[in-house]
């Protein structure tokens, strides 16, 4: 293991190169934020935004989405009602997390100065982070937590401590309350801890602590959901997502299968939709089109909810109405997937895998869903003077700017895969110390598990892949720097 004469604090604050980086970062973050907010004076809203805000207004304990971001909105609202302040906080937090990861990688993996410059400036002047953090949604906050989580993993590899272990467990738990994508984070942490040279007690605490915190949150959520829907559910949205994923294969089944018990009425709506509505509407939807069956007003999911729940006024922001039918959808979707695994793999998993390498921009393709208006919920929460928004930049400007990012993400994945194979057979790998090898293995496993989780869970969209894109770029740079003698 290389010798480090400085503490991390000294390395960041006293190293002349790093002090210069900090000064540049402070100025650049402020200037970029000011310019961006001149172009986009208001936050960016879509359906999830209103769900989070509505739950915050009612101080709900459960929502369609994980409640963590709603709690964050409520806490921030105590400080400021300004959406500009909220966006600024999200952006500064994400950039600080990126800097923490940058300096952590620099400190432990010690890439050359030219490589560090490339990494630093690409991370700092990445417009994608500005657009992600301008959303009134969990995207920016989850990105920051994920970057901190991964930086902590590197610290667990190189310099584990009890204090770090506690902080790491808390970060995982908070990330899980913000977005359920973090459910695989404890697995990655467990793999790192199993590899580290620490006592069994240290490893057990590090593996079990995040699971205990997550289990407590799950139990709390189930009980809160029971109060609203009458059924203990961890995720009201989970059943909807399961059914949506299963329906992509339904048009290709040779015979309409028999439904599981209790799902007969919903199955009737499914058959009606594909037999009488889809043929008239043209092309059959694919995962590349997004979560079509969740959104389509004539699709069986919403039609069955309307039929079952009726024209009641749902004052819970959808939790009661969506939750009332979610168990049926979850049971139906999982049954159909088990009965037809080949069709599910062919018509959902395969196209979704292709989606992963060039994910759709989705919401990122236009500002505020192409509208200059927001709902009364946003007006109330942020004290807007009216429902009308304005922006100097065109609504479609971000699509032109971000158009190539999904393709870059695909190329980065392929480049990383090629480099990691080269690394595996290189003489450089054999000469590297174990923590260095473990760090690169960690990146590979994280990207692999992230891809698998995303492909299985829901139709891939680009804004969920910003974290792995940053990891990909950062460690491609590190690998190129390390393998430079063999690549020349």
pLDDT-derived band of residue 5, with 50, 70 and 90 as boundaries? low
Mean pLDDT across 259-275? 89
Q: Is the pLDDT of residue 484 over 70?
A: yes
3-state secondary structure 210-266: HHHHHHHHHHHHHHHHHHHHCCCCCCHHHHHHHHHHHHCCHHHCCCCCCCCCCCHHH
pLDDT 10s digits, 100-132: 999 999 999 999 999 999 999 999 999 999 999
Which of these, 32, 6, 31, lies nearest to 19 by C-alpha position? 6
Mean pLDDT across 185-205? 94
Q: Is the pLDDT of residue 25 over 60?
A: yes
Q: Is the pLDDT of residue 1 over 50?
A: no
The pTM score is 0.94
Mean pLDDT of all residues belonging to the chain: 91
Render the burial of 25-52: b for 16+ CB within 10 Å, e for the rest. Answer: beeebeebbeebbebbebbbbeebbbbb
Structure tokens at 12: 């960041």
Which of these, 48, 76, 138, lies nearest to 377 by C-alpha position? 48
- Bigger pLDDT: 432 vs 3: 432
pLDDT 10s digits, 145-193: 999 999 999 999 999 999 999 999 999 999 999 999 999 999 999 999 9
Sign of CA dihedral 409, 411, 412, 417: positive
pLDDT-derived band of residue 226, with 50, 70 and 90 as boundaries? confident
pLDDT 10s digits, 338-380: 999 999 999 999 999 999 999 999 899 999 988 999 999 999 9
- Give the whole-angstrom CA distance, residue 384 versus residue 380: 7
pLDDT 10s digits, 460-480: 999 999 999 999 999 999 999
pLDDT-derived band of residue 294, with 50, 70 and 90 as boundaries? confident
CA angle 30, 33, 34 (to 5 degrees): 85
- DSSP helix/strand/coil, 312: coil
Q: Is the pLDDT of residue 51 over 60?
A: yes
């Amino acid at each position: 293991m290389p010798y480090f004469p400085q503490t991390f604090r000294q390395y960041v604050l006293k190293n002349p190169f790093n002090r210069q980086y900090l000064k540049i970062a402070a100025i650049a973050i402020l200037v970029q934020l000011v310019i961006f907010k001149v172009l986009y004076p208001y936050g960016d809203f879509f359906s999830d935004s209103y769900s989070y805000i509505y739950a915050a207004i009612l101080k709900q304990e459960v929502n369609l989405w994980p409640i963590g971001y709603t709690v964050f909105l409520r806490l921030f609202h105590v400080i400021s009602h300004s959406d500009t302040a909220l966006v600024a906080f999200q952006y500064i937090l994400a950039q600080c997390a990126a800097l923490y990861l940058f300096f952590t990688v620099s400190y432990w993996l010690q890439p050359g100065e030219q490589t560090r410059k490339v990494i630093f400036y690409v991370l700092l002047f990445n417009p994608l982070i500005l657009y992600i953090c301008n959303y009134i949604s969990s995207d920016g906050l989850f990105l920051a937590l994920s970057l901190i989580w991964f930086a902590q993993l590197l610290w667990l590899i190189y310099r584990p401590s009890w204090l770090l272990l506690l902080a790491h467990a808390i970060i995982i738990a908070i990330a899980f309350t913000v977005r359920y994508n973090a459910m695989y984070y404890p697995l990655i942490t467990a793999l790192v801890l199993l590899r580290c040279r620490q006592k069994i007690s240290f490893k057990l605490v590090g593996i079990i602590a995040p699971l205990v915190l997550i289990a407590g949150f799950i139990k709390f959520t189930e009980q809160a959901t029971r109060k609203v829907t009458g059924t203990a559910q961890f995720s009201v949205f989970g059943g909807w997502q399961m059914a949506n994923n299963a329906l992509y294969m339904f048009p290709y089944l040779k015979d309409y299968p028999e439904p599981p018990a209790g799902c007969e009425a919903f199955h009737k709506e499914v058959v009606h939709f594909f037999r009488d509505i889809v043929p008239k509407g043209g092309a059959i939807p694919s995962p590349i089109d997004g979560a079509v069956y969740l959104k389509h007003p004539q699709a069986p999911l919403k039609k069955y909810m309307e039929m079952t729940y009726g024209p009641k006024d749902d004052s819970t922001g959808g939790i009661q109405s969506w939750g009332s039918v979610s168990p049926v959808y979850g049971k139906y979707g999982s049954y159909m997937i088990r009965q037809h695994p080949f069709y599910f793999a062919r018509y959902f998993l395969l196209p979704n895998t292709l989606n992963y390498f060039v994910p759709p921009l989705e919401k990122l393709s236009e500002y505020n869903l192409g509208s200059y208006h927001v709902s009364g919920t946003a007006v109330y929460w942020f004290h807007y003077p009216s429902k009308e928004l304005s922006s100097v930049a065109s609504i479609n400007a971000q699509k032109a700017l971000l158009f190539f990012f999904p393709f870059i993400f695909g190329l980065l994945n392929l480049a990383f895969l090629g480099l990691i194979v080269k690394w595996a057979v290189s003489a450089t790998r054999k000469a590297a110390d174990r923590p260095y090898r473990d760090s690169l293995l960690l990146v590979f496993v994280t990207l692999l598990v992230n891809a698998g989780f995303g492909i299985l869970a829901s139709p891939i969209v680009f804004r969920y892949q910003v974290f792995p894109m940053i990891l990909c770029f950062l460690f491609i740079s590190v690998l190129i720097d390390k393998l430079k003698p063999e690549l020349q």
